[in-house]
Structure 1
Amino acid sequence: MATNARGYPEISFVDTDTETLVNALIQSYEMFTGRKLYPADPARLFILWIADIIIQERVNIDFSAKQNLPRYAEGEYLDSVAEIFKDAYRLEPEKAQTTLRFTLSIAREVPTAIPAGTRATVDGDIIFATLEKLTIPAGSMNGDVAAECQTAGEIGNGFIPGQINQLIDIFPYFGSVENTTESAGGADEESDTAFYERMRESVETFSTAGPLGAYEYYAKSASALIVDVKAASPSPGVVDVRVLLQNGELPGEEILNTVADKLTADTVRPLTDQVTVSAPEAIEYDIDFTYYTQEGGALSAEAVAANVQAAAEQFKKWQASKMGRDINPSYLISLLMQAGAKRVDIRSPVYTPVAENAVAQIVNTAIVPGGAESE
């Protein structure tokens, strides 16, 4: 039996097969009228028109019925069926955060107050505003304060220290401003697939004994950027939580702090648990191989080269999208063969086991075309 992308058997509430319906209508017409319908008969063309309308209605009915099942539901329908799960709500877009350091032009004999909402920018388009009032003590030259991007989504992520350095709201004795941490934590609205998986995991939270599955659920609820979480208990009362972001990216300080705040809330963490949140261990590997094409093959050398490059990128994404996924050159070979290579000589990677709290991270990529070979 066929299954859908969420792992359950495919079902239909009504038959939407056009040919079956048309045959049934024609047979009924011929039975009641006693005359044969030929392909060009106007009555047959009318029946085909009626069948098209009926099929469209059946498709709509089938779609509507499926939206009542979480595994088929999409968009606002999925939001609605989430009410049958415990405290499951789609994650809204989030704003990236960072820490801004303001430096005065001179040390003053009195404290200097920088109001909340003071704005700094990267390029005039991406703007960060301070979240609270900053007071630089008398005699000090600088002070740090948390700031948030004014635009929700991933657009505010990835600005390394020093890039957010243009002040919009100038104040007396201003010297300079710059971010001291890489901006992170911005996320687009949670996708249907991620929301569905998290809804299913919400049942883990019914226990009050602190199951590892509950920690993983709450960690994923901290940000839509998080694609994988592994919780482990290396010793009694100690919980080690590892977090992986989209596209295999390792989380920075801002995301880790967000997850830690979520997991240490009084309504989440059992009283005796000591929770640590960190990035997974990075197991580095290289891709280095030579591929050969089929002489006189159906694909040109240029087409195979493009396919091979795409296959290597697909392997990198697959390898980095889940913690505990062993570095598997066999899968790389299968992708390259599907891409049109006649054979491949893999020098790296070699099979490497990856621990549950670790993730494979690509370092160098070398793809060498070996030319065409006869069969």
Structure 2
Amino acid sequence: MEGIERLKNYPDVTFIEAISFDKLKESMVSDFEKRYRELTGNTMTLAAADPYRLILYACAVAIYQGYQYTDKAGKMGLLKYSTGDFLDNLAALKGITRNEAVPSRTTMRFTLSAVQSRKAVIPKGTRLKGQELYFETVEEGEIPAGELTTDVPTVCQTAGAIGNGYREGDITTLVDPLPFNAKVSNVEITDGGADREEDTDLAERIYLAPSKYSTAGPEPAYEYWVKTYSSAVDECRVITESPGEVDIYIMVDGKLPTESFIKELTEKLKNGEQRPLTDHVVVKAPETVKYEIDFTYYIRSSDRDMVDTIQKAVKNACNNFIAWQNKIGKDITPSQLISEIMQAGVQSVEIKKPSYIEISDSQIGITSEPVITYGGLRDG
């Protein structure tokens, strides 16, 4: 999310001059004492337990709450801070609406028990079950006479990311009976499902929105339309190696996209309103570069009472590195892994793998299960 990262670099602003609650209280006490002196000619100093001071403190609570509302009201009009319904209204200024939850998709293969003399029809809306969720076909399928199988696009009946992750062959129960015997099985992992678009994703699209008005096909414009298609797309890299040729590499929920997702997104981008008519757009999964993680870490002897806590922190640090590294075109950088682990509170770490690996713009590093070894206590 390069747009969001850029927003973080913009100056912080405050609509209440960054006044703190303590500063407000002391200011009210000071103003009271000053005004009392102006009106009476006498000096009054409010002690810590003086009833007038306590009254002023009580008033300060309500006044400061008003300050906070004022500050929030101002910040909700700025993309850097805006959230929720305020962000939706900012989006409306750009003609953008928040993406609602969408169901996951897959391809179901229907296989006859025997060849038939006439075509076998699978009605649109035929339901299938995978563990706790139901799926349904989105178009009519047909097995021609003399053949045994056909593939039919299918969606989950429950919108959201909950339908993602069914592996090939996990969906095998036919709910609606057919007038012929057939086995069913998904031939792709289910993916593409996304929950209602989160604030960070919507803010990213608002930031990219001005690019959508261009007819020249700039990278941010393609990125905008890809992320508008589905908020499940968390990685998008646009590469143009020759005029008119546009390759778009994507990741979906941190995983490689399925063929059906690529096909549907490609069809969406063929819309002449979303790309220059002369552009040839190809959506692809990035090439994977395998790397391994293998390291040994040590904990200070003085921290022996925190071993369990630090061990958990090391595992979290490793996961943070994997998430940080899981970006298209990002080089495999072991120094980042060292930094994450050291912040977990270890005494030292010895990295066996990975070594530095250069990654091209069309590649992504994918790791296997990390090997994490606790080497024991060390002084120092």
Q: Taking structure 1 as the reference length, what is the TM-score of the superposition?
A: 0.92
Q: 1:14 matched to which residue of 2? A: 16
Cα distance in 2, alignment partners of residues 300 and 29 from structure 1: 51
Q: 1:26 matched to which residue of 2? A: 29
Aligned: 1:55 with 2:57:
no
- The one-letter code sitting in structure 1 at the alignment partner of 2:85 is E
Deviation at 1:327, TM superposition (A): 1.0
- The one-letter code sitting in structure 1 at the alignment partner of 2:360 is A
- The one-letter code sitting in structure 2 at the alignment partner of 1:268 is Q
Q: Which range moved further: 322-331 or 302-311?
A: 302-311
Aligned: 1:159 with 2:166:
yes
SS in 2 for 1:132: coil
**Counterpart pick for 2:77 among 60, 68, 77:** 68
- The one-letter code sitting in structure 2 at the alignment partner of 1:341 is V
Q: Which range moved further: 263-272 or 182-191?
A: 263-272
Cα distance in 2, alignment partners of residues 282 and 4 from structure 1: 28
**Counterpart pick for 1:141 among 128, 145, 148:** 148
Cα distance in 1, alignment partners of residues 7 and 297 from structure 2: 33
* 1:333 to 1:127, Cα distance in 2 relative to 1, 3 A: same
Q: 1:368 matched to which residue of 2? A: 373
Q: 1:204 matched to which residue of 2? A: 211
Deviation at 1:283, TM superposition (A): 1.6
Cα distance in 2, alignment partners of residues 67 and 312 from structure 1: 35
Deviation at 1:178, TM superposition (A): 1.5
Q: 1:221 matched to which residue of 2? A: 228
Q: 1:175 matched to which residue of 2? A: 182
Cα distance in 2, alignment partners of residues 234 and 118 from structure 1: 44
Cα distance in 2, alignment partners of residues 38 and 106 from structure 1: 95
SS in 1 for 2:288: strand
- The one-letter code sitting in structure 2 at the alignment partner of 1:104 is L
Q: Percent identity?
A: 36
Q: 2:157 matched to which residue of 1? A: 150
Report matched runs for 1:340-351 at 5 Å: 340-351=345-356
SS in 1 for 2:292: strand
Give the gaps of 5 or more residues in structure 2: 38-43
Cα distance in 1, alignment partners of residues 117 and 67 from structure 2: 78
1:50-81: CA deviations, max 9, x gaps?
11000011101111121111111101111101
* 1:109 to 1:88, Cα distance in 2 relative to 1, 3 A: same
**Counterpart pick for 1:292 among 298, 301, 307:** 298
Cα distance in 1, alignment partners of residues 141 and 352 from structure 2: 55
1:317-369: CA deviations, max 9, x gaps?
1111x222111111111122221221221111111111122111112421222
CA contact (8 A) 2:137 2:152 kept: yes
CA contact (8 A) 2:192 2:252 kept: no
CA contact (8 A) 1:164 1:178 kept: yes
Q: 1:335 matched to which residue of 2? A: 340
- The one-letter code sitting in structure 2 at the alignment partner of 1:275 is V
SS in 1 for 2:125: coil
Once superposed, what is the RMSD of the aligned Cα atoms?
2.0
Q: Taking structure 2 as the reference length, what is the TM-score of the superposition?
A: 0.91
SS in 2 for 1:221: helix
Q: 2:198 matched to which residue of 1? A: 191
* 1:236 to 1:187, Cα distance in 2 relative to 1, 3 A: same
* 1:232 to 1:83, Cα distance in 2 relative to 1, 3 A: same
Q: 2:112 matched to which residue of 1? A: 104
Q: 2:41 matched to which residue of 1? A: none
1:228-281: CA deviations, max 9, x gaps?
2111112222111101233x3221223212321222112122222211111112
Aligned: 1:91 with 2:99:
yes
CA contact (8 A) 1:70 1:82 kept: no
Q: 2:122 matched to which residue of 1? A: 114
CA contact (8 A) 1:185 1:254 kept: no
* 1:354 to 1:4, Cα distance in 2 relative to 1, 3 A: closer
Q: 2:286 matched to which residue of 1? A: 280
The runs of at least 4 aligned residues of structure 1 exceeding 6 Å deviation read none
CA contact (8 A) 1:161 1:179 kept: yes
CA contact (8 A) 1:183 1:254 kept: no
CA contact (8 A) 2:88 2:98 kept: yes
Give the gaps of 5 or more residues in structure 1: none
CA contact (8 A) 1:4 1:10 kept: no
Aligned: 1:250 with 2:256:
yes
Cα distance in 1, alignment partners of residues 6 and 186 from structure 2: 45
CA contact (8 A) 2:128 2:176 kept: yes
SS in 2 for 1:300: helix
- The one-letter code sitting in structure 1 at the alignment partner of 2:16 is V
CA contact (8 A) 2:191 2:252 kept: no
**Counterpart pick for 1:235 among 234, 237, 242:** 242
Deviation at 1:174, TM superposition (A): 2.7
